Amino acid sequence: MCIPLVFETLSSQLLRLEILDISQNTLTNDMLPSLGGFTSMKELYLSDTGLDSDNHIPDLCSMLKNLEVLDLSGNNFNDSDIASALSELSSLKSLNLGYTQLTPRSILNISKIRSLEILDLEGNQLNESILRRLENNGFTWPTNLQVLRLSSNSFTNEFLSSLTGLQRLKFLDLNYNQLNGSLDISGLLALTSLEILDLSNNRINSFVVHQVSGSKSLSKLDVLTLDYNMINGSKLRESLQPFSSIRVLSMNNNKIIGTITAGDFRDLGNLEQLTLDNNYDLDNEFFRSIGKLTSLKVLSVFGCGINGTLPPADWFKLKNLEELDLSQNLFVGSLPSSFLNMTSLRKLELSRNQFSGQFDSNIATLTSLESFGFTDNQFEVPVSFTPFSNHSNLKFIYGEGNKVILDLQPSMQTWIPKFQLQVLSLPSRTDIDSLPLPRFLLYQNNLTSLDFSSWRLEGKFPHWLFNNNTKLTELLVRNCSFTGEILLPLHPLTKMRRIDVSNNNITGQIPSNNISSILPNLQSLNLSTNRIQGSISPEFGKMSLLQTLDLSDNHLSGEIPMNLSGHGSFLKYLILSKNKLDGPIFPTLKYLEELYLDDNSFYGSIPSSFLDSSLIHLDLSYNNLVGKLPSVVGNLSYLKTLSLSNNHLEGSIPTRLVELENLSYLDISDNNLTGSVPSFINASVNYIHLSHNRLSGLSKRMFSNRSFLMMLDLSYNEITGSIQDMMQDLAHARLNILLLKGNRFTGRLPEQLCQLVDLNILDLSYNTFYGPIPNCLGKMPFENDDSLGGAFNGYIRGKDAHSGILVPNINVKANFTTKKRSYTYGASILAYMSGIDLSKNKLNGSIPYELGNLTRLRALNLSHNDLIGQIPTTFSNLEYVESLDLSFNMLSGEIPPQLNQLNSLAVFSVAHNNLSGDTPEQKGQFITFDESSYEGNSLLCGPPLTRSCHPYAQSPTISPNDEEDDSPIDMHAFIVSFGVAYTSILLVIVATLYINPYWRRAWFSSMELIIFSCYYFMQDNWRRFSNSRNL
């Protein structure tokens, strides 16, 4: 049935229809006459319907005599006489022509719609020059207008003078125009009925009035909005004088020139509400004259970045103030002593500052207080809550992130409150090992939300809170040190939606008899990280509204009830990690989106019922699952994270699994998987963990140009062959971590490796790579940036720095050896870690000096290779390196003495090389290295080695009175004397041996013995030297 016929049929049936909204449908002007049958219609909404002219609109208007409201916004009436077309609507009061591409012809005859009271011409690029031409042709505004919206046009300062005839106008919107500088508002003074004026989103800095005799005033103006302008503080008081009647003033998000003080508003005697939010140029000076604004009821100075202490102004004079918001600034110190006696104050918001100290008497004097917010400060809140003992109206307290302390006077613990709280949210820190539960809670029976997480409370779980507060919707007592068992209340809590008792010392079993009837509307239950025993009750399967159940990190045993996620259950998030549960994985998943069964003792195979699930996050790691990866896992089209590590799975990895459209995180490490690593050409995975399996090969094409990888871990498999093709595939993947340790890779290190410019950790150790280390490796950044912290927690960066998506529940871990130990780094450390490990290969040639350019590198391990040549002096540039291992190579020459400038170095080894000369001077970190760092280098000497580099050197004794001892005359005398003495002794020995035959035989016998001893000594040491070189 065509649309016109539908409307004609409906109009004959809906004779009394008064409101019709068909906005955002596709219509044509030819269809408009079919709407004429709705003769009783009073409101018609046709916005964004594709109308492109005024055709058929006069015909429609002639039939809709009762129409009062018409919305034609978002259509195209360019160069049409839409105003004349609508003139037949004699009852029309409201007309919306916003964003309709109006031209002067379109609105020339707008005054013909005589009954019009509300007119919206927003977003039509109108300006005063257009209106000036129209006025020359007889244009006037409809005289009965009460609301005129002209936002998002191009009107400038001169436009205001054209509004003088609108004496009935109550609301004028000039938001988003081109008003600027000092604005003359004389033209507005004729608008004697004006109540609301919006001048926001312009560039106004002040107001002036050039009054003439008989000028009127804006005596009825009630609301003035000046948001997003450029207010001049030095002219503010004078600028506001024409608006002396206003009751509400909004000046948010301004660029303030100069200084604004509260005194600038003192001439506004009726001012009740002042909002100055997000004015970053506002400072402490504003508050010094705050006592002059005695008529104020609402003051908001949110998010202005004001620092320093809150000035000790006349706060106590604000007797009418009902709401005060000073949140999200940088205030420090305690509240001033004058911050009191605001007896009408109902709502006080001090959150997200750096206030400190105790509330003392300040808060006690605010006796009308109903809501108090002070989250994320450094206040000290006494556990007794005695500062609130005088309050009788207090209902809401929000104080997360402060500090709870013990009272100095323990007797105050027994006071009886006058108030009945509805919300108490005070998750805070404390330095006390054991706090008493606030006794005033015994007298509260109207609580709907209670949160005192992270208090170190003494004693058993307070079951009486359930019984006393039947209106509770949420109870959050995480990390409170509660002991004992959890007992259900005596009566149903029908309004309870959320309970969190995690991170306590709760023992016993979960109540299993009637939890579904006592908490019938519970949506979230978190009992994780306690010491709860026993089995999981089937009662949870009867709780039809339960969406989140977290029982992880307890001592639960037995099997999972079959009905937990079956028919009648709407469970979406099930977390049972770190328990002692066993049995097969339950087959029914129904509505589950997140399932965590890791670190239990489940056995059997993965059920094929996963085919019909809506799982987004699945973790079955650290169990005893067996069998092959079922191909149906590839049907989990919503799956984003999958962890099956540390099981006994076998067989090959299904291609359908890695090609899941939304899969971002895949961990099937520590299993018995075989075959080749599958191709990820059509995959969207960002984190791949396949280590500790028995995979034996790589696919020919591993990745595509569209692949975007953060981490690839293939370590400890049996993969053979070259990595050159894979490196080529990874060239555009923006890979951060590459772990190929412990395989059977061979061949040269390909130059394509250097194209991985985002790499932070590279581990190719324990393979059989040979050939030289590519020089280009030293030209890679190996740098970290702040974005990596998010990347390893699931934030996937986009193509540019400002785009990306967050995949929740990802916490990347990587195993890397540094400082001669193997560490498993979590996401928070990986963001700052960078390292290269090429050890245990057959690399040869010299070490590229370019590696010294990796100034941000924290670990470099080239040990157990066949590297020759000298240690590059550029290594002294590795200022961040913490571990440098060059041991078990064939390096020669001296150790660069500049290495002792490496102040971050914690582990250093050049052991078992052919190095010679002095060890680096023992200073800085080199004081900490012992002989093991240098052993196996027979020609090395100096501390900490026992071998001295100058065994015969003696320190000369110099007399303090001797000067100029090295003169040329003294040295010549010494040489002559030494030569004469040496010659004399030699002649005596020769003469003696010639005269005495016995002494002559003894002399030659001794010389022969010395020569043979030296020969065997040299031969023995040469063998040792050769052996050490071959190690």
Domains in the chain, ordered, with CATH? Answer: 1-154 (3.80.10.10), 614-898+907-916 (3.80.10.10)
Distances (CA, A) of 1017 to 167, 945, 1024: 119, 21, 11
Percentage of the chain beyond pLDDT 90 is 67
Phi, psi of 457 (to 5 degrees): -90, 150
The structure's pTM equals: 0.81
pLDDT tens per residue, range 736-759: 999 999 999 999 999 999 999 999
Distances (CA, A) of 380 to 351, 374, 412, 831, 981: 14, 11, 16, 35, 91
pLDDT tens per residue, range 630-667: 776 667 888 999 999 999 999 999 988 898 889 999 99
Phi, psi of 80 (to 5 degrees): -110, 160
- Dump the DSSP string for 363-382: HHT-TT--EEE--SSEEEEE
Contact 240, 214 (CB under 8 A): no
Question: Is 1016's pLDDT higher than 70?
Answer: no
Phi, psi of 843 (to 5 degrees): -70, 145
Measured distance CA(1031)–CA(1028) in Å, rounded:
5
* Residue whose pair of structure tokens reads 């009902």 in the numeric block: 322
Q: Mean pLDDT throughout 80-100?
A: 93
Confidence class for position 989, pLDDT limits 50, 70, 90: confident
Confidence class for position 1030, pLDDT limits 50, 70, 90: very low
CA-closest candidate to residue 321, choices 279, 280, 365: 365
Contact 582, 557 (CB under 8 A): yes
* Residue whose pair of structure tokens reads 């312009």 in the numeric block: 202
Pick 330 or 633 by higher pLDDT.
330
pLDDT for the residue 323: 97
Question: In whole numbers, what is the pLDDT of the chain averaged over residues?
Answer: 89
pLDDT for the residue 579: 97
Q: Which residues, in sequence order, are CB contacts of 867 under 8 Å at separation 6+?
A: 773, 843, 844, 845, 846, 847, 886, 889, 890, 891
pLDDT for the residue 801: 47
pLDDT tens per residue, range 222-257: 999 999 999 999 999 999 999 999 999 999 999 999
Residue 571: how many other CB atoms lie within 10 Å: 24
Measured distance CA(989)–CA(155) in Å, rounded:
121
Measured distance CA(314)–CA(276) in Å, rounded:
19
Question: Is 719's pLDDT higher than 90?
Answer: yes
CA-closest candidate to residue 713, choices 741, 744, 732, 734: 741
pLDDT for the residue 786: 56
Peptide bond into 960 cis (omega under 30): no
C-beta pairs of 579-582 under 8 Å, 24+ apart in sequence: 579/551, 579/552, 579/553, 579/554, 579/555, 580/555, 580/556, 581/536, 581/556, 581/557, 582/557, 582/558
Q: Mean pLDDT throughout 273-278?
A: 97
Question: Is 408's pLDDT higher than 90?
Answer: no
Q: Is 400 left (phi over 0), alpha (psi -120 to 50) or beta?
A: beta
pLDDT for the residue 1029: 47
Question: Is 1's pLDDT higher than 50?
Answer: no
The first and second tokens of residue 788, run together, are: 């990596």
Edge-to-edge order in the sheet of strand 624-628: 557-558, 580-583, 601-604, 624-628, 648-651, 672-673
Residue 567: how many other CB atoms lie within 10 Å: 8
Residue type for position 873: T
Helix (H) or strand (E) segment spanning residue 595:
strand 594-596
Pick 977 or 824 by higher pLDDT.
824
pLDDT for the residue 993: 65
Residue type for position 307: N
Measured distance CA(246)–CA(489) in Å, rounded:
54
Helix (H) or strand (E) segment spanning residue 148:
strand 147-149
CA 527 to chain centre: 27
Q: Which residues, in sequence order, are CB contacts of 985 under 8 Å at separation 6+?
A: none
Measured distance CA(592)–CA(615) in Å, rounded:
6
Question: Is 433's pLDDT higher than 90?
Answer: no
3-state secondary structure of 426: coil
Measured distance CA(408)–CA(733) in Å, rounded:
61
Confidence class for position 591, pLDDT limits 50, 70, 90: confident
Confidence class for position 1031, pLDDT limits 50, 70, 90: very low
Measured distance CA(852)–CA(845) in Å, rounded:
17
pLDDT for the residue 965: 43
In 740-788, which ranges are E strands? Answer: 744-748, 761-763, 768-771
The first and second tokens of residue 920, run together, are: 């680096």
- For CA atoms 546, 548, 554, 559, the dihedral sign is positive
Q: Which of 195-209, 489-503, 506-520 has the lowest mean pLDDT?
A: 506-520
Measured distance CA(682)–CA(8) in Å, rounded:
53
pLDDT for the residue 969: 43
Distances (CA, A) of 155 to 73, 109, 251, 505: 20, 20, 21, 68
3-state secondary structure of 185: coil
pLDDT tens per residue, range 790-799: 666 666 655 5
Residue 817 is classified by DSSP as E
Contact 319, 297 (CB under 8 A): no
Confidence class for position 291, pLDDT limits 50, 70, 90: very high
Question: Is 881's pLDDT higher than 50?
Answer: yes
Measured distance CA(818)–CA(834) in Å, rounded:
10
Which of the listed ranges 626-640, 929-943, 946-960 does the model predict with the highest average pLDDT? 929-943
